[in-house]
């Protein structure tokens, strides 16, 4: 199976990392989560209700919608906090998180090992997020970043909606005995498709100069030329 691969890129100030990553991750899961399955027989089921919640970003002028599940939110918060911690660390290189949707694939082998079976994960969709992170010292610059990043992040969310709603492959609805191969069932109030969040180490990005520093650099370049 060839996994669909999508790449998202965004430039943010360090204090905006939590908001940006949370917004993107929750936007992905909003379209890849179902209500809890209630099976009556092996192949017959009904779906419960799935609530939605609006979240206001702290450092970006944007409000996004997520699945109203505190358990799912806590699960994502663990990865978001770890990613931001790595961005703050001078000694460690920042990472590029990847969001992988997958299903368990069962393989049976005949011959001498009659009936033996193994399981591995077949990734069917992959989202790579590349964050260019830098610091600003001026409150005026940070206020400008609140607006500019909101526009860019809003465009990314719309792009996610467009791509994720195309009529492409998603795993078919499983029977009761196979539901754990397709969905994450540990949450009490929702059932997202199985997913992983991985981080990929990349070389440390150079610090982006502030608007004031960039202006002085241009002035000195003109003076010396």
Tens-digit pLDDT profile for residues 183-193: 999 999 999 99
Q: How many CB atoms lie within 10 A of CB 111?
A: 6
pLDDT of residue 120: 61
Proportion of the chain above pLDDT 70, given as a percent = 76
The predicted-structure confidence for 54-73, as pLDDT tens digits, reads as follows 999 999 999 999 999 999 99
Q: Is the dihedral of CA 50, 54, 57, 60 positive or negative?
A: positive
Instruction: Name the pairing type of β-strands 95-109 and 45-47.
Output: unpaired
Domains of the chain: 4-224 (3.30.900)
Q: Give the integer Cα–Cα distance in Å for 179 and 159.
A: 29
Separation CA 158–CA 128 (nearest Å): 16
**Rounded to a whole number, what is the distance in angstroms from the first to the last CA of the chain?**
57
Calculate the CA dihedral of residues 49, 101, 19, 162 and round it to 10 degrees: -80
């Amino acid at each position: 199976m060839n996994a669909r691969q999508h790449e998202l890129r965004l430039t943010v100030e360090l204090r905006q990392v939590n908001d940006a990553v949370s917004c993107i991750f929750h936007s992905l899961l909003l379209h890849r989560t179902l209500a809890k399955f209630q099976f009556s027989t092996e192949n017959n089921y009904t779906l419960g209700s799935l609530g939605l919640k609006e979240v206001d970003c702290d450092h970006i002028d944007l409000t996004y919608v997520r699945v109203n599940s505190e358990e799912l939110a806590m699960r994502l918060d663990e990865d978001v906090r770890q990613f931001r911690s790595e961005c703050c660390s001078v000694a460690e290189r920042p990472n590029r998180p990847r969001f992988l949707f997958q299903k368990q694939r069962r393989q049976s082998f005949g011959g001498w090992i009659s009936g033996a079976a193994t399981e591995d994960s077949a990734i069917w969709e992959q989202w790579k997020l590349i964050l260019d992170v830098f610091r600003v010292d001026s409150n005026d610059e940070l206020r400008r970043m609140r607006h500019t990043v909101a526009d860019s992040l809003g465009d990314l969310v719309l792009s996610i909606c467009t791509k994720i709603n195309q009529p492409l492959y998603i795993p078919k609805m499983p029977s009761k005995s196979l539901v754990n191969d397709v969905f994450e069932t540990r949450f009490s109030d929702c059932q997202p498709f199985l997913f992983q969040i991985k981080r990929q180490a990349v070389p440390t990005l150079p610090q982006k100069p502030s608007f004031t520093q960039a202006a002085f650099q241009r002035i000195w370049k003109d003076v010396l030329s």
